[in-house]
Every structure is written in C-alpha cells, then in structure tokens.
Amino acid sequence: MTKNKSNLIKGTVVLTFAGLASRFMGFFYRIFLSNAMGAELMGIYQLVFPIYMIGFTIFASGIQTAISTLVANELGKQNYKNIPKVLKIGIVMSLSTAIVLAFLVNRYSGMIATHILKEPSCSSSLGILSYAFPFCGITACINGYYYGLKKAGVPATTQLLEQIVRVTCVYAIASYVGNGNIKVTSELAVLGVVIGEIASQLYNLGSLYCSRTPREISQLAKSSQTPVHQKNEPITGRLFKMALPLTANRLLISILHSAEAILIPNMLKKYGLSSSEALSVYGILNGMSMPFIMFPSAITNSLSVLLLPTISEAQSSRNEEMIKKTTAISLKYSMLIGILSAGVFISFGQVLGDLIFHNELAGSLLTTLAWLCPFLYITTTLSSIINGLGLAHLTFANSVIGLSVRILSILYLVPRQGINGYLLCLLISQLVITSFDGIIVIKKIRPPFEAADLILKPGIIVALSSYLLFHLYKYLSPRHGGLTILLICIFLICSLYIMLLGITKAVSLKDFK
C-alpha cells in the first residue's frame, strides 16, 4: 500500500468514526429537540441556518479549502517553510472577515429575519448565532491545515467535541431553567451552537501548541532550504487567488441553497398550508428526515475531505496511476454505501420515522428521500475529485445548473403538489449534478471499475436482503418490541450486504493495497 493511499484510508477511518459518533449523538439531540421544541419551533430554528451557511462560505469555506490545498502542495514539494505561513495568513483573512460579518448580522438581524427569511421571530436567534462566526473561522482554518497534512485526528476530535458541548449545554440549561420541565426555545438551541464552536476553537488552538505535528513542521522549516525558484513567492497572494474564486463560487451556491430553504415554507403556504403548518413541515423535513438520510454520508464526507489534498498532491507529482486508483476506489465505495443506505431507508423509513420521532410524515419523507442516497453520496466524492484536479470551476457550474433547476422546479411544483413536489425537485436536480460531475471525472481520469461491481451486484444484494429482513421485522416486532428488533434487522442487512459483496467478489481486500 502506498503512503498516500494509506494516509487516505487512515484519515477517512478516523474522520468517519468521529462523524458517525457525532451524528449518532446528533440523532438523540434531534429527538430531544423535536420533543422539547415541537415541529414549528424546529422549523424556526432550521430557518436561521441559511444565513449561517452564507456567512461561513464567505469567511471560512473557500479559505479552508485553499489552506488545505496549499499545505498539501508545499508538503509535496518539501517546502516546509511556507506551511506555517499559509495557516497564519489564512487565519488573519478568515478572522477579520468573520468579525465584520458578525457585526453586520447582529446589527441587522431584525431586517434579515423580516425581509429575507420572512419570519420575524428568527431575529433574536440570528443575533445570537452571529457570535459564533469568529470562532468558527479560526476552527475552519486549523482544520484545513490538518487536512492538508492528511492528519485527521484533530479535526475529528474537534467535530466530536463541538457536538458533545452543544448537546450537553442545551440540555443542562433547559433542565436548570425549566426546573425539570424541559422546554427548549430556538434561541437556546442556537446558543448551544455558539458554545460548541467556542469549545472546538479553543481545542484547535491548543492542538497547535501541544500536538507533535505542528512542532515537526516548524523544525523542518528551520532546517530546510527553500529552492531558489520558490523564494519570495507571496503566500498571501497565492492564498487569496485560490480562496477568492472558491469563495465566490461557493457563495453563489450558498445563496441558491438559502433561497431554496427560504422558498420552501413560502411555497407551501401558496399550496394552502398555514404559516404554522408550513414551518412544521419544513421542521420535519430538515430537522427529522434529512438528518437520517445524511447519516451514512459521514463516511463519504470524510473521504471527500481527504480526497482533495490527496488528488492535488498526486497531480503535482504527476502520479497519474495514483489518481486513477484513488478515484476508482473512492467512487466504488461511495456508490456501495449509497445503494445500501437506499435499501435500508426504502424498507424501514416509515418505521424509523414512527418509532424515533413518533411522526408519520417524517417516515413518509424518509422513504421517499431514500432514492437520493446513491446520487447524494457519490456527488460529494465526484466534486472533491474534480476540485483536487484544479477544475473547481466545473463543479461550480454543475452545482449552479442543478440548483437553478431545483429552484425553478420549486416555484412551479411546490405550490401545486406541496412537499411531494419538493421531493421531486430534489431528485431531478441531484440527477443533473451527478450526471455532469460523473461525465467530467470519466472523461478526465477514466477510472478503472466494473459496472457489475458498482451497481448490479450491490443492487440485487441489498434488494434481497432488505426484503427478507423487512418481513422478518414484521413477524417479530409485535412479539419482542419494535425498536430493538428494528436495529437488529438493520444490522443484519448491513452484515449480509458486506458478506455477499465479498462472496461475489464485488469487494476485495486488494482494493486497499
């Protein structure tokens, strides 16, 4: 196994473990919030995050990716002196931007809530959320630094810590204030986000001073000699030139995502729902059903985060064989995870919604959203590969086209078909994005894989496994309790799936060598 491939696998495992643990805690937190807030307040809570997403895109998203890519490039060139500079300059850029945005959002939270979100009750939550911006910016930069070094331990711990602190603080405050009668407001839930971001940022700063990797880089920087042709290269300029187009591209995408999120409750009102009903449906969709769908993506997200610097480093050293093998294995396992997830959610989505959230609509939405899983997960991987090749403008164009199709479809379909129209919009736009990204990767890299191993075998296996285990669940659940049997059946589906993929040689240990 090559060093790059080994680092990719190890880093993916570490980030996946942290992601799964974080999402597992997040599930219990979602259940807690849904019971303590209700669907309408959950909708208000979810509605402030489009503004947060736009802010994060401006002060952190592009800068984090630029730091990760530049650190990986300098590491590949063994130009260690520039690595600490990339981080320091990135933090200054991100922090200064975040402070300005925090002031603006806090100062004009009422106007944003009333005229942009169309929900004045979001004002106080937005004001609180703005305080998280500077801390989140520093955390994102340090995480990008570690991603570039392909050291996933600190970002993984940061992710877990943020979730633990957020959940603990909200539960503790709600319990104390309510004297045992727990009631969570949107403001309290947002305060938990701020406290979690502060804790993760403090941990990240501590890691820079206490962990071994930054000290090793500093020592290498002191002892290394920079090649003549690399001297006096302005790090600020390189970082700015890389971060600016990434930020601009992602900002447009974030604005489209935010427009989509704001449009959904408003179009549901045009469908005939009251304001309270529209917010409730929106809260159920984004606060209950979507987190289930995105749970398995902890694996593909972890993979995609580390793919970008890996592909970038392989390209800088002109290692075409490494790029092909890494791409093939990443796409293969993203698709395998997507097909398994789709099978589980199609079979047990309604049951999961009923048992976990005690909400029939949550289960119905989960079953329908299940068809998105293969496309959602593989698109994340495809986009990271394309970005690693230095073709971020192509993923940007594809995303803009797909989101534009989605927004136009929302304007037409949701007022006529309600929430089912929105689910159809999601499927159409995701098919567009996945198709375009897939064409680019196949054309540029031509990764070697078999269609039978990628789609046919896993599709047949998961269909048979899900069918058998669903009927076993229906037979056993009245006798032994629903939730325990449900979890056992899902575990058996996953076990059968992995075992039969191995028997049919759709997967092999050779993939990891």
pLDDT tens for the chain, residues 1 to 513:
555 555 555 655 666 666 667 767 776 777 778 778 877 888 888 889 889 999 999 999 889 988 988 888 777 777 777 888 889 999 999 999 999 999 999 999 999 999 888 888 889 999 999 999 999 999 999 999 988 887 777 888 888 899 899 989 988 888 887 665 667 888 999 999 999 999 999 999 988 887 766 666 666 656 555 554 444 458 888 888 888 877 887 888 889 888 888 899 889 999 989 888 888 888 888 877 887 888 777 666 666 666 656 676 676 667 777 777 778 778 888 888 899 999 999 999 999 888 877 788 888 999 999 999 889 888 888 888 887 787 878 888 888 899 999 999 999 999 999 999 999 999 999 999 999 988 998 888 877 767 667 788 889 999 999 999 998 888 887 665 677 888 889 999 999 998 998 888 877 766 555
pLDDT for position 330: 80
Q: What is the 3-state secondary structure (H, E, C) of 172-188?
A: HHHHHHHCCCCCCCHHH
Phi–psi pair at 462, nearest 5 degrees: -70, -30
**Cα–Cα distance for residue pair 135/195, rounded to 1 Å:** 10
Q: What's residue 125's pLDDT?
A: 92
Token pair for 186: 């949107």
Closest C-alpha among 184, 116, 130, 194 to residue 162:
194
C-alpha radius of gyration, the chain, whole number:
23
Task: With CA atoms as reference, report the closest residue to 316 among 83, 73, 149.
Answer: 73
Nearest to 335 by CA among 301, 366, 381, 277: 381
* 127 close to 118: Cβ distance less than 8 angstroms: no
Q: How far is 282 from 117, CA to CA, in rounded Å? A: 13
Q: Please give the Cα distance from 330 to 202 (Å, whole number).
A: 33
Q: 435 and 474: one domain?
A: no
Q: How far apart are CA 211 and CA 204, in angstroms?
A: 10
Query: Do 338 and 481 share a domain, yes or no?
Result: no
> Are residue 362 and residue 478 in the same domain, yes or no?
no
CA distance to 123, 126, 202, per residue, from 170 (Å): 20, 17, 19
Last residue in a domain, options 402, 434, 449: 449
DSSP labels, 96-159: HHHHHHHHHHHHTHHHIIIIISS-GGGHHHHHHHGGGHHHHHHHHHHHHHHHHTT--HHHHHHH
| DSSP state, residue 59 | I
Both tokens assigned to 236: 């600020």
Question: Tell me, what's the pLDDT at 232?
Answer: 45
Q: Examine the domain organization and report whether 482 and 339 are in the same domain.
A: no
Residue 402 shares a structural domain with residue 439? yes
150: left (phi over 0), alpha (psi -120 to 50) or beta: left
140 and 20, same domain (yes or no): yes
Residue 233's Cβ-side half-sphere holds a number of Cα atoms within 13 Å equal to 19
Question: What is the torsional sign of CA 259, 264, 267, 273?
Answer: negative
* 449, 479, 500 - which closes a domain: 449
Coil vs helix vs strand at 268: helix
pLDDT given for residue 228 in this prediction: 45
| 270 and 292 part of one domain | yes
Instruction: Name the residue with tokens 């196994």.
Output: 1
Give the domain extent around 482: 450-513
> What is residue 475's predicted lDDT score, i.e. its pLDDT?
84
For 432-463, give the DSSP string. HHHHHHHHHHHHHT-----HIIIIIHHHHHHH
Residues 457 and 493 reside in one and the same domain: yes
Which H, E and C letters describe 219-241, residue by residue?
HHHHHCCCCHHHCCCCHHHHHHH
Examine the fold and report which residue of 421, 449, 477 is the final residue of a domain before the chain moves on.
Answer: 449
**CA distances to 3, 17, 185, 302, 331 from 13, in Å:** 15, 6, 36, 8, 16
Q: Are residues 391 and 459 in the same domain?
A: no
Is there a single domain that holds both residue 458 and residue 431?
no
Give residue 459's Cα distance to chain centre. 25
Residue 90 Cα distances to 10, 134, 329, angstroms? 26, 13, 32
Please report the pLDDT score of residue 409 as a whole number.
93
Neighbours of 455 (CB within 10 A): 15
Per the listing, tokens 């919009």 go with 425
Three-class secondary structure of residue 295 per DSSP: coil
Asked if 379 and 476 sit in the same domain, the reply is no
- For 508, the token pair is 């092999």
Q: Which residues does 471 contact at the CB level (< 8 Å), separation at least 6?
A: none
Q: Assess whether 336 and 483 both reside in one domain.
A: no
Whether the Cβ atoms of residue 112 and residue 105 lie closer than 8 Å to each other: yes
Number of domains forming the structure of the chain: 2
* Predicted pLDDT of residue 75: 78
